[in-house]
């Protein structure tokens, strides 16, 4: 692998000694991605009235006093970025500095996908939020991996709110779920986006991905419970919808888990989930079942044991994704469940790495994330299929 550099620094001023500016960060010696801090330094014989910051031709704004720094999200595309600082003195003299960061180039074309891990760390059921990059270890099939990205919950969300509106959800159950989804939507931030999918044995209502909270909330009005339940079909669809989205992809499923009408087998959904980097959270309304919580019922497609297997595989898909099952003891906990999931997503660590061994043979790679401190519980997705 070869990192090619392209560094361009330009200084121009009406009088060279009157005002000068340069960009300390980024350096221009390595490619950048995600959130990038821009730091400019100004030396002037006169008072400095302001420093304009530009990124890729767009003006971010003007800083009127030091330190002249700002953070911007440039995304994760492997592309050239131009950073520019324009300093202006009180008499109108100006100076400009530019830094152009390079792309990462390789001698051979190897398509290796960045594996992005959303990691929840807890101790005594409370999230631990003060860990540093060097305290994490990533193992891919037991092999230590080099971490190339590290964030603390700053990655925007792309969420599908997947709500079971079948007849088994009629009345207070559905009302509570709709209110809980509103709590999630109200907690979204500027760069977040979500899609609302309401389903029974068919798709009842669906929005586009949007950050418009009023639009998303409007999809939760005048909803009536109807029909049977097809979790597998619609969870598969939700995971498919997320494939083209950027950011932290997540499905928040609300259902009792009793699938009776899906054409797809849960084994197919589990495979889809293993190919995806999306987290799955399941707000579960438990029904009377056997010792492991799987309900006992027959359906047109499966017998009792077959339906229990579907239930267990759904739980496995949730666990492998790095999400969790949130069983409700009462409907009064619904708002807290949706809000708790959103809070957890905000407080995750985001680790990224390129696997050192990628065969493209469809094999399963088990992922483990460890931390130096003892006594901490670490949860992330269980692995991925190597394609």
| Global confidence as pTM | 0.70
CA distance 371 to 346: 19
Instruction: Report yes or no on 335 lying in a domain.
Output: yes
Same domain, 179 and 326: yes
Residue 6 has what pLDDT? 38
The count of residues in the chain is 387
Helix (H) and strand (E) counts for the chain? 6, 23
How distant is the alpha carbon of residue 298 from its chain centre? 37
CA distance 83 to 56: 6
Same domain, 223 and 367: no
Please spell the DSSP secondary structure of 267-335, one letter per residue: HHHHHHHHH---EEEEEE---SBSTTS-B----SS--HHHHHHHHHHHHHHHHHHT--EEE-SSGGGHH
Instruction: Report yes or no on 109 lying in a domain.
Output: no
Residue 111 has what pLDDT? 55
Residues contacting 56, CB < 8 A, separation 6+: 74, 81, 82
- Dihedral of the CA atoms 342, 345, 347, 351 (nearest 10)? -170
Residue 35 has what pLDDT? 82
Instruction: Report yes or no on 164 lying in a domain.
Output: yes
Q: What is the CATH number of the domain that holds 309?
A: 3.40.50.410
Same domain, 220 and 317: yes
Query: Would you state the structure tokens that stand for residue 18, as one six-digit string?
Result: 């009157």
CA distance 300 to 119: 39
Residues contacting 204, CB < 8 A, separation 6+: 165, 198, 223, 226
Same domain, 285 and 327: yes
Same domain, 377 and 232: no
Answer whether 48's CB lies under 8 Å from 89's CB: yes
Residue 310 has what pLDDT? 86
CA distance 245 to 241: 8
Same domain, 208 and 305: yes
Radius of gyration for the chain, computed over Cα atoms and rounded to the nearest angstrom:
25
CA distance 47 to 66: 12
Residue 108 has what pLDDT? 42
Same domain, 197 and 284: yes
Query: Which ranges in the chain belong to alpha helices (H)?
Result: 172-186, 213-218, 231-242, 266-275, 304-321, 334-346
Instruction: Report yes or no on 66 lying in a domain.
Output: yes
Instruction: Report yes or no on 307 lying in a domain.
Output: yes
CA distance 141 to 361: 15
Q: What are phi and psi of 334, to 5 degrees?
A: -65, -50
Domain count, the chain: 3
Which domain, by its residues, includes 149? 115-153+348-385
CA distance 75 to 123: 32
Classified as helix, coil or strand, 383 is strand
Instruction: Report yes or no on 46 lying in a domain.
Output: yes
Instruction: Report yes or no on 7 lying in a domain.
Output: no
Same domain, 338 and 361: no
Same domain, 203 and 163: yes
Residues contacting 374, CB < 8 A, separation 6+: none
Planar angle of CA 343, 239, 109, nearest 5 degrees: 105
Per-residue tens of pLDDT for the chain, all 387 residues: 333 333 344 443 334 447 889 898 888 777 787 888 899 999 888 899 999 999 999 999 999 989 999 999 888 777 889 999 999 998 889 999 999 988 765 444 445 688 999 999 999 989 999 999 999 999 999 999 999 999 887 789 999 999 999 998 999 999 999 999 999 999 999 999 999 999 999 999 999 999 999 999 999 999 999 999 999 999 999 999 999 898 899 999 999 877 888 888 889 999 999 998 899 999 998 765 545 566 666 666 677 787 788 888 999 999 999 999 999 989 999 999 999 999 999 999 999 999 988 878 889 999 999 999 999 999 999 999 888
Planar angle of CA 35, 246, 140, nearest 5 degrees: 80
């Amino acid at each position: 692998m070869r990192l090619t550099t392209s560094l361009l620094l330009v200084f121009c001023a009406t009088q060279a000694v009157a005002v000068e500016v340069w960009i300390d960060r980024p350096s221009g010696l390595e490619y950048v991605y995600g959130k990038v801090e821009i730091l400019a330094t100004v030396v002037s014989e006169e008072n400095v009235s302001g420093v304009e910051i530009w990124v890729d031709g767009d003006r971010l704004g003007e800083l009127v006093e030091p330190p002249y720094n700002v953070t911007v999200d440039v995304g994760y595309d492997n592309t050239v970025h131009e950073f520019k600082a324009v300093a202006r003195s009180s008499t109108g003299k100006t100076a400009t500095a530019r830094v152009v960061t390079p792309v990462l180039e390789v001698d051979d074309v190897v398509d290796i996908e960045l594996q992005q891990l959303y990691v929840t760390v807890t101790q005594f059921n409370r999230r631990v939020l003060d860990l540093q990059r060097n305290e994490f270890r990533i193992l891919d099939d037991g092999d230590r991996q080099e971490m190339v990205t590290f964030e603390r919950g700053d990655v925007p969300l792309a969420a599908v709110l997947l709500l079971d509106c079948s007849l088994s959800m009629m009345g207070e159950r559905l009302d509570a779920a709709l209110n809980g989804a509103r709590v999630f939507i109200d907690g979204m931030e500027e760069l977040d986006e979500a899609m609302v999918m309401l389903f029974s044995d068919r798709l009842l209502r669906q929005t586009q991905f949007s950050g418009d909270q009023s639009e998303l909330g409007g999809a939760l009005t005048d909803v009536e419970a109807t029909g049977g339940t097809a979790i597998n079909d619609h969870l598969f669809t939700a995971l498919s919808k997320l494939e083209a989205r950027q950011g932290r992809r997540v499905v928040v499923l609300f259902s009792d888990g009793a699938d009776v009408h899906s054409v797809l087998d849960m084994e197919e959904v589990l495979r889809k989930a293993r190919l995806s980097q999306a987290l799955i959270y399941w707000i579960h309304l438990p029904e009377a079942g056997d010792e492991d919580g799987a309900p006992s019922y027959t359906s047109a497609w499966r017998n009792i044991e077959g339906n229990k297997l579907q239930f267990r595989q759904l739980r496995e898909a949730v666990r492998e994704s790095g999400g969790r099952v949130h069983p409700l003891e009462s409907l009064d906990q619904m708002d807290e469940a949706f809000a708790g999931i959103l809070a957890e997503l905000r407080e995750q660590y985001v680790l990224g790495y390129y696997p050192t061994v990628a065969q493209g043979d469809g094999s399963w790679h088990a992922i483990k994330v460890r931390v130096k401190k003892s006594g901490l519980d670490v949860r992330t997705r269980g692995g991925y299929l190597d394609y």
